[in-house]
């Protein structure tokens, strides 16, 4: 997967050089390209923003600069692949559709993602309108809070998507057991996890996990996932369709 990120703070993405994402890049599973948005300005101050039409606080990012940057990055990517592929354009914004595990799985199937993190009050809306005619373009939110810029949101999304790519996680099963993973865990939070020692500062590991009885362990884990979800995210349990809850579940 090719990932292009255009930002006025490309150095923000240094964390993508380490750990799982760094190893995925070394192994060629992830091909990340960072771009400085200001490289597409033409004034001495390298201006990327201006005052909002209609008044109001803050500044809005200029469409011309973003347009030149996105066009150039698409051309770069096409030249590198020797084809006429187009990326999926992803714009993080608090006003976007929720970025969920389901969306991460959808993005993990894409060969090329282009992230456009904004600063200030956001990017002139005509940029999404312009590219929405040619590319699959998504405005997505990673949560109901406002950051100082979209860069942190891009880090979150690249990691959530990157870990799903084949070969990135050592144990493919751990993806299937993720919170929110499709199948049995859909709409359920992951339950508690334990490792050695069996007793730590007087805290014992639940006995069932030491029993070696796989059926009982699976049942206990589902019960704990359901219990935790009921306690912390009751609205998710409501999403489980009637078939999603068996008669044992209803006893939890
Ligand atoms: N939760 C989020 N906050 C922000 C702020 C800016 Br500025 C750009 C993107 C996002 S996504």
ipTM confidence score: 0.96
* CB 147 near ligand 1, within 6 Å: yes
Does residue 251 have an active-site annotation?
Answer: no
Does residue 94 have an active-site annotation?
Answer: yes
Q: DSSP letter for 119, please.
A: B
* CB 94 near ligand 1, within 6 Å: yes
**Nearest CA, atom 9, ligand 1:** 150
* Model confidence, pTM: 0.92
Instruction: Count Cβ atoms below 10 Å from residue 189 Cβ, excluding itself.
Output: 19
Q: Is the bond preceding residue 149 a cis peptide, omega within 30 degrees?
A: no
Q: Is the bond preceding residue 17 a cis peptide, omega within 30 degrees?
A: no
Taking only the tens place, the pLDDT of each residue in 186-213 is 789 999 999 999 999 999 999 999 999 9
| Ligand 1 centroid – CA 1 distance (Å) | 24
**Selected catalytic residue, list 94, 110, 130, 159:** 94
* CB 153 near ligand 1, within 6 Å: yes
Distance (Å, whole) CA 147 – CA 226:
31
Taking only the tens place, the pLDDT of each residue in 15-46 is 999 999 999 999 999 999 999 999 999 999 99
């Amino acid at each position: 997967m090719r990932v292009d990120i255009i930002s006025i703070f490309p150095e923000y993405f240094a964390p993508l050089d380490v750990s799982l994402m760094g190893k995925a890049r070394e192994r060629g599973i992830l091909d990340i390209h960072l771009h400085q948005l200001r490289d597409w300005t033409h004034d001495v101050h390298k201006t990327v923003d201006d005052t909002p039409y209609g008044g109001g606080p803050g500044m809005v990012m200029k469409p011309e600069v973003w347009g030149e940057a996105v066009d150039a990055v698409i051309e770069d990517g096409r030249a590198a692949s020797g084809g006429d592929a187009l990326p999926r354009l992803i714009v993080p914004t608090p006003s976007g559709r929720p970025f969920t595990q389901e969306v991460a799985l959808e993005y993990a199937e894409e060969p090329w993602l282009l992230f456009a993190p904004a600063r200030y009050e956001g990017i002139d809306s005509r940029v999404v309108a312009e590219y929405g005619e040619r590319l699959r373009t998504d405005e997505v939110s990673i949560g109901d809070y406002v950051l100082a810029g979209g860069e942190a949101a891009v880090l979150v999304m690249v990691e959530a998507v990157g870990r799903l790519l084949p070969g990135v996680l050592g144990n493919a099963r751990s993806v299937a057991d993720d919170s929110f993973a499709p199948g049995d865990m859909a709409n359920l939070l992951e339950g508690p996890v334990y490792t050695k020692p069996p007793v730590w500062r007087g805290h014992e590991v639940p006995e069932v996990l030491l029993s070696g009885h796989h059926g009982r362990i699976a049942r206990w884990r589902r019960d704990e996932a359901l219990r935790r979800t009921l306690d912390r995210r009751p609205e998710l349990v409501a999403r489980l369709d009637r078939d999603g809850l068996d008669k044992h579940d209803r006893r939890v």
